[in-house]
Amino acid sequence: MPVPIFAPEGIMNLFSGLSAFPITPCNEAGEVDVEALQRLVERLVHAGVDSTGLLGSTGSYPYLARAERRLAIEAAVEITRGRVPLLVGVGALRTDDAVALAQDARTAGADALLLAPVSYIPLLEDEVFAHFTTVAAATDLPLCVYNNPATTGLTFSPALLGRLSRVPNIRAAKNPAAAPDEMAALHDRLKGATAADFSLGYSGDWHATEALIAGGTTWYSVAAGLFPEPCMRIARAVQAGEYEQARRLNAELEPLWALFRRYSSYRVIHAAAQLIGVTDARPPQPILPLPAEVHAEVAQVIARLGLE
């Protein structure tokens, strides 16, 4: 019987439930719009998300200078402190840079770290292990492994995740969800390889419902970073064991998931944030805003789903 999204014994609440990842609004010079970011984060806290994920891929972390990352964390902490845990991305090409970013996040008030194996030269598994253990040892914050092969080119094997799951401070993984008919088998493989108290969560919004039903502890969500309420309804339905209700609610969001698959969730969520008036920030160049006709398509889906 699948175990719905509850944290394994000993895991902090920030590694269970719905983790919402907002964009990081910036101007063309890459400077963080603090007021817009705080508006976005306040929406998430008000909606009751289980954690907020700052400076993930949706939050444009590779495009931001160290000082802007620190500013974004400080701005978010003003909203989240004492209300909802804050998970902060600290990925960087160099290990020493990732260590510095982790220490910045700790000083600024983050509750946990998210680390992707950013690379130019493809990394070997022993190199990944050394990178993660070094960053994990740099602070006392719990660290989540960011397994994102679409951007890093590296897929964490069950064996590598198993090694990392037994390192102090490395407490969770954010994995890409598999197709529904493959999800249960994937989760079982990862669960069998990792420590009993290691949190296995998933991203990829259109497959996340089945990932949670299969036993995933956390949904790391792009959509929830702007539209937390419908995603909360899905997560809470799974927690209550109401799997068919969760599937029905997920199916209602299929027009949004289709846009994510077609144009990328990153581009679509930036357009959606503009359309609902939260921020007029554009993606950082060389990424271009969606063409006008696609922007109109996003507007139609938002209106149809009542997400304005």
Domain chopping of the chain, boundaries? 13-240
Residue-wise pLDDT for 169-213, tens only, equals: 999 999 999 999 999 999 999 999 999 999 999 999 999 999 999
- Compute the average pLDDT of residues 260-286: 95
> In this structure, are residues 185 and 201 in contact, taking their beta carbons and an 8 Å threshold?
no
Residue-wise pLDDT for 271-280, tens only, equals: 999 999 999 9
CA 79 to chain centre: 18
Query: What's residue 13's pLDDT?
Result: 67
DSSP state of 21: -
Beta bridge partners of 67: none
Instruction: Find all residues with CB under 8 Å of 286, minimum gap 6, and list them.
Output: none
pLDDT surpassing 70 at residue 265: yes
> In this structure, are residues 133 and 162 in contact, taking their beta carbons and an 8 Å threshold?
no
Q: What is the CA radius of gyration of the chain?
A: 18
At residue 137's C-alpha, the angle toward residues 133 and 140, to 5°, is 135
- Residue 14 pLDDT class (50, 70, 90 cuts): confident
* % of the chain beyond a pLDDT of 70: 96
Count the neighbouring beta carbons within 10 Å of the beta carbon of residue 144: 27
pLDDT surpassing 80 at residue 78: yes
> In this structure, are residues 87 and 108 in contact, taking their beta carbons and an 8 Å threshold?
no
Domain 13-240 has CATH 3.40.50.1100: no
* % of the chain beyond a pLDDT of 90: 94
Q: For residues 49 and 27, give the distance between their C-alpha atoms in angstroms, rounded to a whole number.
A: 27
- Residue 72 pLDDT class (50, 70, 90 cuts): very high
pLDDT surpassing 70 at residue 34: yes
Q: Which pTM does this prediction carry?
A: 0.95
One-letter amino acid of 177 = A
With 0-12 / 13-18 / 19 or more C-beta atoms within 10 angstroms meaning exposed / middle / buried, residue 150 is: exposed
